[in-house]
Amino acid sequence: MSYTTKIKEEIASIENTKSEMIAELAGFIRNNGTISDNKIILTTENKKTVERIKLFIKNLYNTELKIETKDNANFSKKELVVMNINNNVDSILKDLGFLGADGNVLLTPPTYIVGANEEIRAYLRGVFLCCGSINDPKTSRYHMELLISTPDEAVFVQKLLNIFDLNAKILNRDKGYMIYLKEAEKISDYIKILGANNAVMYFENVRIYREQKNKTNRLNNCEQANIDKVVATATVQLEQIRIIEETSSVDLLDDKTKETLEYRKKYPEASLKELSEIISLETSKPITKSGLNHRLRKIKELADRLAKSNEKK
């Protein structure tokens, strides 16, 4: 079962007040329904959604749905369930804000449909049940989308989402308008708004795990980069020491710098900080990282002079 299906099935178990049922049904029918020959035709693959819509129509309008199944044209293994509303169609469409009092089609629902936050949440549930999807955070990038047919409805739904500061965006697609969220925190908030609390817990657990894993990877990469830098620096310094020793020029260095030369050979993988601590501990003569770096510069300067002198010969 996909993550989207789990969310839809959890939503389908939420109990609604009458006004919330009207709002959710309005969101579902406006974004799913086809009005033809004085009947409303609704489609879905989700059996629990069918039961929910059937219950709402029965409770609100004392009307039964005519239900049939057919093969899914989208190559899905699931059958497509077709729900037909044949009775009280005009009164239902007017009550749900699809038709005005004079029978004209309303491009967006009237204010009373989404008059309170709970009704807005219910409307958004209805929209998600028919045209929403959310990627499983465990297996893919964070992404939520709603595919809306008309521009007026797309802008209306976007405004409802942004009442909750979700920063929803719209893209024009060949088959309509895609409203989407890509920020993990906003998607989590959106699922919470829908009322799918179990899905929120799953999403948050995966998100925290992924963030911690990414943080660990970044730290490991940073640590590896530092190790590579230390090794590269030490390799250069050992080469400088080799030049000095092969030309029997160690005595050209002062005693403290000779001491540093010997410690660098003894601890070739130590960082500058680690080497200064080792020398301080073993000689009982404290030396700072800056002081050690000064001695290593003397080694470099001597090695550079010797190398240039060899080139002239």
Task: Answer for the pair 184, 142: CB distance below 8 angstroms, yes or no.
Answer: yes
Q: Is pTM, for the whole model, over 0.95?
A: no
**DSSP conformation letters of the chain:** --HHHHHHHHHTT----HHHHHHHHHHHHHTT-EEETTEEEEEES-HHHHHHHHHHHHHHH--PPEEEEE--TT--SSPEEEEEE-SSHHHHHHHTTSB-TTSPBPSS--GGGG-SHHHHHHHHHHHHHHHEEE--TTTS---EEEEESSHHHHHHHHHHHHTTT---EEEEETTEEEEEE--HHHHHHHHHHHT-HHHHHHHHHHHHHHHHHHHHHHHHHHHHHHHHHHHHHHHHHHHHHHHHHHTT-GGGS-HHHHHHHHHHHH-TT--HHHHHHHHHHHHS----HHHHHHHHHHHHHHHHHHHHHHHH-
Which amino acid, residue 187?
I
pLDDT band at 167, cuts 50/70/90? very high
Distance CA 44, CA 131 (A): 9
User: What value does the mean pLDDT take over residues 160-166?
Assistant: 95
pLDDT tens string 260-307: 989 888 888 888 888 899 999 888 889 898 998 999 999 999 888 888
User: What value does the mean pLDDT take over residues 62-82?
Assistant: 76
pLDDT band at 73, cuts 50/70/90? low
pLDDT band at 8, cuts 50/70/90? very high
Q: What pLDDT, on the 0 to 100 scale, is given for residue 75?
A: 55
Closest CA to 66 of 54, 74, 48, 52: 54
Closest CA to 81 of 60, 92, 93, 66: 66
| Residue 297 neighbours by CB under 8 Å, 6+ apart | none
- Give CA separation, 70 vs 2, 8, 77, 85, in Å: 21, 21, 11, 17
- Residue 8 CA, distance from chain mean position: 20
Question: What are the boundaries of each domain within the chain?
Answer: 3-195, 222-312
- Give CA separation, 288 vs 232, 263, 272, 273, in Å: 21, 15, 9, 8
164 pLDDT above the threshold of 90: yes
Q: What pLDDT, on the 0 to 100 scale, is given for residue 78?
A: 73
Written as six digits, the tokens of 148 are: 């809306």
Cross-strand bridge partners of residue 84: 41, 66
pLDDT tens string 174-197: 888 999 999 989 999 999 999 999
Q: What average pLDDT does the chain have?
A: 88
Class of domain 3-195: alpha beta
pLDDT band at 20, cuts 50/70/90? very high
How does 192-217 read in b/e, with b if 16+ C-beta sit within 10 Å?
Answer: bbbbbeebbebbbebbeeeeeeeeee
* Paired sense of beta strands 132-134 and 80-85, if any: unpaired
Q: What pLDDT, on the 0 to 100 scale, is given for residue 312?
A: 64
